[in-house]
Amino acid sequence: MRTVTLPAPDDFDAWRDAARGLAAAQVPPDDVVWQVGAEPRDLFAGEAVANEAPPASPGFSVPRAFLDLARDVVLADEAERWSLLYAALSRLRAEPKLMEDRADPLVRRLETIAKGVRRDIHKMRAFLRFREVESGAGEEGSSRFVAWFEPEHHIVRANASFFVNRFASMRWSILTPEVSLHWDGAALSEGPGASKADAPEGDPIEAVWKTYYASIFNPARVKIGAMLKEMPRKYWKNMPETALVPGLIAGAQARESGMIETARASMGGNSAMAWEALRDEAAACTRCPLYKPATQTVFGEGPVTARLLFVGEQPGDQEDLAGKPFVGPAGQVFNRALGQAGIERDTVYVTNAVKHFKFEARGKRRIHSKPGAGEIDACRWWVEQERMLIRPGVSVALGATAARSLLGRAVTIGKERGRPLPLAEGGGQAFITVHPSYLLRLQDKAQAEDEFGRFVDDLRAAAALVG
């Protein structure tokens, strides 16, 4: 009987090195006992040799699908994970297509374990909340941020790069019972586990976040069962906004009416603060790879009291540099059409379905590239938050990309153009027309004038829907 002691409960590399040697030496899975650090040895395993290395022998290749699955399974809080993975690895020599057999009990077991790990990784990213604290003695800067989280699996180190990339400009610490992570803006360090008492209870930022959450809360869309399934109550105590949920539901109608009236009354009120919080959050968005080459996030612009909201496709070259929507050639056509339709630009809210500029570099030029469905869907969350905060009577989709963002499905502009469509998300109606860039591409002057006139008529019709 061989005993292999791994240095940490999430050490994939150590497991892989040990398993590779054991499999190459054809050591049967039943002859190996796996343990971590100072964990007690199996009393029935017989004499054990820690980290015993089998004789060197030729290795063998395994499918990438197995390695990807193993990286997740290793993070599970499951005592049998090591032996289950080694059993699968041993079988792969004789059954190279094992991972394709989803009905195999061992494969199903590993997939189930990995699914739980991936869910826990998502929960940490979604429900972890930083709180601001004062800097300690000798620390540069005025503040740092601390978060407390209780994962179900050994996911903290695996999740570290997400938070480093997501909050690169902050100095923060993530405290968990097993291990703590600390980022000083340049380097990541690790510390021992902590307790809930080591984390702060609250800070001024929570007031802004609660204001934003209360402003977008729509009781008609809340399904308690679905909420609890996606966001179990164990995470509520660490999230400031969840303290608002019972009261928001209990006084839903009166609260919603009051917030809408307050929002309409003044740009300096709660809705403006909530919009600023949302914009600042979007500035660090990494939901899709488009943020990497883009100069910046181009968020929506306009009064939060707007009754008419326009959604374009994505920022262009000039918008990417300026950080404002519709300031390039298409924006000039849009402004001219608004003027002829009797709509003042500063009374409407203008945004884009995708918030980062997608382009192909050709020499020194950046050529517009159409966003894909995945990029539209990744950014749709931001558009939904803008609409739920502003609650426009009509949301005008400028082009097919914007229509997909608003409706959640692909549509044909010629079929749906010019007629109101009900919107489930945030209420109100959608109104579909062409994108101003379409008008710029028309070569025939007479056709271009006719189409511009149709576009102006569409804008008038959309404005008429909101009176």
**Please, what is the Cα angle at 455 between 452 and 456, to 5 degrees?**
90
At residue 196, the pLDDT reads 84
Q: What is the pLDDT of residue 54?
A: 43
β-pairing verdict for 359-362 and 32-36: unpaired
Report which of 55, 74, 58 is spatially closest to residue 11, judged by C-alpha positions: 74
| Alpha helices (runs of H) in 283-341, residue ranges in sequence order | 317-322, 329-340
Strands ordered across the beta sheet of 143-148 = 131-134, 143-148, 172-175, 179-183, 188-192
Residue 82: both structure tokens together? 């090591």
Q: H or E element: which one contains 381?
A: helix 373-390
- Can you say whether the dihedral through the CA atoms of 95, 98, 104, 107 is positive or negative? positive
Report residue 438: phi and psi, to 5°: -60, -40
| pLDDT at 46 (0 to 100) | 40
Parallel/antiparallel/unpaired status of strands 420-422 and 32-36: unpaired
Give me the residues paired with residue 309 across strands: 349, 395
Q: For 423-455, how does the pLDDT look when each residue is reduced to its tens digit (9 = 90+)? A: 876 678 999 999 999 999 999 999 999 999 999
Q: Rounded to the nearest 5°, which phi and psi values hold at 245?
A: -60, -50
Give me Rg for the CA atoms of the chain.
Answer: 27
Phi, psi of 199 (to 5 degrees): -95, 145
Please say whether the beta carbons of 288 and 378 come within 8 A.
yes
pLDDT for res 166: 84
pTM of the model: 0.48
The helix or strand, by DSSP H or E, that contains position 248, with its residue range, turns out to be helix 245-250
Answer for the pair 353, 376: CB distance below 8 angstroms, yes or no: yes
In which residue are the tokens 């995945």 written? Answer: 374
Q: Enumerate the H helices of 129-232 as residue ranges.
A: 156-166, 205-216, 224-230
Q: What's the one-letter identity of residue 26? A: Q
Question: Distance between CA atoms of 199 and 197, rounded to whole angstroms?
Answer: 5
Geometric angle at alpha carbon 183, from 181 and 188, rounded to 5°:
75
Q: How far apart are CA 166 and CA 286, in angstroms?
A: 7
Q: How high is the pLDDT of residue 162?
A: 92
Report whether 308 contacts 393 (CB < 8 A). yes
Q: Are 283 and 329 in contact (CB under 8 A)?
A: no
Give the chain's residues under pLDDT 50: 39-57, 204-205, 220-228, 253, 255-257, 259-260, 263-264, 266-268
Q: With contact defined as beta carbons under 8 Å apart, do 14 and 62 qualify?
A: no
